[in-house]
Amino acid sequence: MVSQKMTDAINEQINAELYSAYLYMSMAAYFEDLQLPGMAHWMVVQSQEEMSHALRFYKHLNERGGRAILKAIEGPETQWAAPLACFQAVAEHEAKVTSLINGLMRLARQEDDYASESFLQWFVNEQVEEEASAAEVVGKLKLVAETQGGLFMLDKELAARVFNMPPDLTI
């Protein structure tokens, strides 16, 4: 059985994951407005990933005897100065999520909640990938900033990103 303290913290994380999904959909709308459908697609895929993360936390609580309590989701930003600024915001946001996951890991250790600690290890590894992915796009945007057509080539590359719902989350 999961403790109330861990249940409350995981409920906060569910909210954070849903906010992340909402933020990335807002970024997708921003890129659609700029006529950059590949970048918009990248953000939609990112939003889908975040929704699956929220679902993982939800399932973990249910499996451990806790209850998910969904709270209001704060409205995200809707405008950025440029595509680079938007992806820099992604990188900053993912660093923040990493700190939230680390906080959950600390709490699991304090609570002697080995099941949650084991569960959270997947997220620790996932955040390494999330931060690296954002940093890669930021780096590429910096490289193409001075090249004519570079933004459009990168947009086409980002359109190829695919999301596959993890089998353990499908119904």
Domain ranges of the chain: 4-163
Amino acid, res. 126: E
Predicted confidence band at 171 (pLDDT cuts at 50, 70, 90)? low
Residues 17-69 pLDDT 10s: 999 999 999 999 999 999 999 999 999 999 999 999 999 999 999 999 999 99
Amino acid, res. 164: N
By three-state DSSP, how is residue 77 classified? coil
Predicted confidence band at 146 (pLDDT cuts at 50, 70, 90)? confident
pLDDT at 166: 86
Give me the half-sphere count of Cα atoms (radius 13 Å) on the Cβ side of residue 69.
8
pTM recorded for the entire structure = 0.94
Q: For residue 44, what are its two tokens?
A: 């939609």
CA–CA dist 137, 117 (Å, integer)? 31
By three-state DSSP, how is residue 40 classified? helix
Fold category of 4-163 in CATH: Ferritin (1.20.1260)
Q: Length of the chain in residues, anyone?
A: 171
User: Do 89 and 77 touch, CB atoms closer than 8 A?
Assistant: yes
| pLDDT higher than 80, residue 161 | yes
Residue found under tokens 């906080």: 103
CA–CA dist 78, 53 (Å, integer)? 23
CA–CA dist 121, 150 (Å, integer)? 37
Predicted confidence band at 168 (pLDDT cuts at 50, 70, 90)? confident
Residues 95-143 pLDDT 10s: 999 999 999 999 999 999 999 999 999 999 999 999 999 999 999 999 9
pLDDT at 35: 96
pLDDT at 170: 73
* Mean pLDDT of the region 60-85: 96
